[in-house]
Chain A
Amino acid sequence: MHMCRIARVVEETSIHKTIFFDIEMKAEPGQFVMIWIPGVDEVPMSLSYIEGGTGITVEKVGEATEAIHGMREGDMLGVRGPYGKGFRMAGSKALFVAGGTGIAPLLPLIKRYRGEKHVVLGARTKEYLLFVEELKNISSLSITTDDGSIGFKGFATEMAEKIMEKEDFDIVYTCGPEIMMKKMLDLCMERGIEMQASLERYMKCGIGICDSCSINGYRVCKDGPVFDSNLLATMDEFGRWKRNEAGRRIEV
C-alpha cells in the first residue's frame, strides 16, 4: 500500500468526483486499485485516468464513497494495486457501451484504442453524464438517458442494438449495471461479436485469496475484473447471482 496525496479533485457531476493522485502508475485500462480511507473503509475503484495523471472517478453511494467525496487536495488516501486483468486490445473497430459510472474504466481504454470508436454513454439523467466533452473529441458519441432529459430516451443497450444493426464491429467493450452487460452479452453472442466486460463483486482482499468476489470459481479481483464473452457465456451466475460480505448468494 502506498499512501498517496490527492493532487487535484474535479467535480464532474453532483454525484461524481475525480480524484487525481500525486503518483504515476504503470497500469492497463480496466485494472483497479483498492482505496483505503483511513479509519473508514477500503473499496475497489477502477482507474479512470492512467496517462497524464493517475485518477479514479467516484460515485457517491454510501459511507466510503461519501468519505472520499469529503476529501480535498493535500489529503491522503492509501492505494493498493493496480490489480486484476484489464481490457485486451482487439480489432480495429470497437463499440463501447457504458452505463453510469461504468464509463470510468472505459475512458482510458477509449483513449488508447487505435481504430474506429463508437461510444454509447447511458445515464439516469442528463446531470449524471460523465466525460461528455472528452468523449466527443475522440469518438463518435451517442448519449442515452432513462428520463430522456438529453439524447435518446431509453437504455444504453437499446441504442447499442440500433447501432449494431447498422454497422459491424470487431469488438464490444462494456461496463455498467450487470443487467445491462448481460443484455450486451446476449446481443453479441447472437451476432457472433466478441465482447469484453468489467464486472463488480463484493471485494475484500483484492489479491485473489479470500474468494469473496468469485463468480463461478473465477476471481473478479485476479482473473478479472475484465472477462471475455466466451467465458461469460459459461458463467451461470453472471446476471443472476452475486454474494454478500458473508458469502451468501443473493440476486444481482
Chain B
Amino acid sequence: MLRVEIAGIKMKNPLMLASGILDLTKESMERFVDAGAVVTKSVGREERKGYKNPVVYEMEYGILNAIGLANPGVEEYVRELEEVGVENVIGSVFGGNAEEFGYVARKISPYVKAIEMNMSCPHAKRVGAEYPEDEIPDAVKEVKKAGKPVFVKIGMENILNRAERAIEGGADAVVAINTVKAMAIDIETGHPILGNRVGGYSGKGIKPIGIRCVYEISSNYEIPVIGVGGITRAEDVIEYMMAGARAVQIGAGVYYRDVSIFSEIAKELEEWLEKHGYTSIKDVIGIAIKK
C-alpha cells in the first residue's frame, strides 16, 4: 500500500530521513530501519568543523539551525557507510564547483543507491543556496558520471529556475525544500543567537512554503519531486503527495516525535488511506494539480 519507486529505487514507504538529522554515524542511521530510505549527512571533500555553537535554536513553530555542514570529509565518512542496515542509503554531497562535486560523488557512489546534491543550504555561501544557477547543469552532469541516479536538492529561493537548471543537467529527481534562511536575536543583550548569526528555519512553520514549492515544480515539470519541510504527521505526507511529491523527507519531525516517527507515520498513513478508500499511496500523487 505504501510502496513507491523513485529513479528505479524501490522503497517500502515514501518516508525518507532528511539529510543532516542523525546521519553522521552508521549506528545512528541504523535506527531508521522503518524509513524507505536514509539520506546521509551532506559531505564534502575536506573535513569541516561547522559553525560555532549555538548551532540550533528551538522556536515556537520550528527549529533554527546553522550547523555549517560539519562533516569529517568524504574519505573518512564512507567508513560509516559500509553495509548500513537500512533499506536504502542516499548519499548527500556538496561542493564549491563541478569538479569538487564530481570528486565527492565518485567517492561516495559505491556505498549508496543515489546521490543527492545539496545546492540549497541557506547559510553556507557558495556551497549552498548561493551556488551559481548557471553552473548547476555542469555540476549535475559531473555527478551523473559517478553512475548513480542524481537528486538535486533546492531551496525556496528561485526555485523554478534552479529546478529547470537541474533538469537541464540530467537530474533524476529534485528534492525541495531545504531550510528557509532565517535569524533570531536575543533582545535582552542584542546578540544574534546563532554562532553564524544567520541560519535556516525548518519544522512545522515551513510546511506551507514546502507545499507551495513542490506544487509549483510538479505543475511545471515532469521530473519526480521529493517533498521536504515541516512534516510531522501522516496528513502532512498526504498533502505533499497531493501537491505532486512522489516521496517525502522528514528532518525536524525527529525532534518533535523522535526516531519512532517513521514507523508511526507509516502506520497512520495506512489508516488514512484505508479510511479514504485508497489502495495505494501512489493514487494521491498530484491530486491537487488536477483540480
Q: Count A-B pairs with CB separation below 8 Å.
A: 116
Given A39-B191, A205-B55, A245-B49, also A216-B255 (CB < 8 A) = no
Residue of chain A at shortest CB distance from B26? A217
- Contact bitstring A35-55, B, C-beta under 8 A = 1, else 0: 010110111000000000000
Question: How far apart are A23's CB and chain B's nearest CB, in angstroms?
Answer: 14
- Contact bitstring B13-53, A, C-beta under 8 A = 1, else 0: 00000001111111110110000000001000001111011
A1→B188 CA distance, assembly (Å): 12
> Interface size of B by Cβ–Cβ distance < 8 Å?
43
Q: Which of B69-77, B99-107, B207-215, B225-233 touches A?
A: B69-77
A216→B27 CA distance, assembly (Å): 6
| Contact indicator B54/A207 (Cβ below 8 Å) | no
B25 cross-chain contacts in A, Cβ below 8 A: 211, 214, 217, 243, 247
| Contact indicator A212/B70 (Cβ below 8 Å) | yes
A157→B41 CA distance, assembly (Å): 39
B258 within 8 A of A: yes
A62→B54 CA distance, assembly (Å): 16
A210→B23 CA distance, assembly (Å): 8
Residue of chain A at shortest CB distance from B56? A205
B272 within 8 A of A: no
| Contact indicator A246/B70 (Cβ below 8 Å) | yes
B57 within 8 A of A: yes
| Contact indicator B195/A210 (Cβ below 8 Å) | no
A248 within 8 A of B: yes
A39 cross-chain contacts in B, Cβ below 8 A: 189, 191
B67 cross-chain contacts in A, Cβ below 8 A: 204-205, 210
| Contact indicator B41/A204 (Cβ below 8 Å) | no
Given A36-B193, A76-B189, A209-B252, also A41-B70 (CB < 8 A) = no
Question: How far apart are A37's CB and chain B's nearest CB, in angstroms?
Answer: 10
A219→B25 CA distance, assembly (Å): 11
Given A246-B47, A246-B48, also A80-B23 (CB < 8 A) = no
| Contact indicator A211/B23 (Cβ below 8 Å) | yes
Question: How far apart are B93's CB and chain A's nearest CB, in angstroms?
Answer: 15
Question: Which residues of B come within 8 Å of A, CB atoms?
Answer: 20-28, 30-31, 41, 47-50, 52-58, 63, 65, 67, 70-73, 76-77, 186, 188-189, 191, 193, 195, 251-252, 254-255, 258
Nearest first, the 3 A-B pairs at minimum CB distance are A217-B27, A42-B53, A248-B72
24 example contacts (A-B, Cβ-Cβ < 8 A) are as follows A1-B186, A3-B189, A36-B53, A41-B52, A76-B188, A78-B54, A204-B50, A204-B56, A207-B255, A208-B254, A209-B251, A209-B252, A210-B20, A210-B55, A210-B56, A210-B67, A211-B22, A245-B50, A246-B50, A246-B70, A246-B72, A246-B73, A247-B25, A247-B41
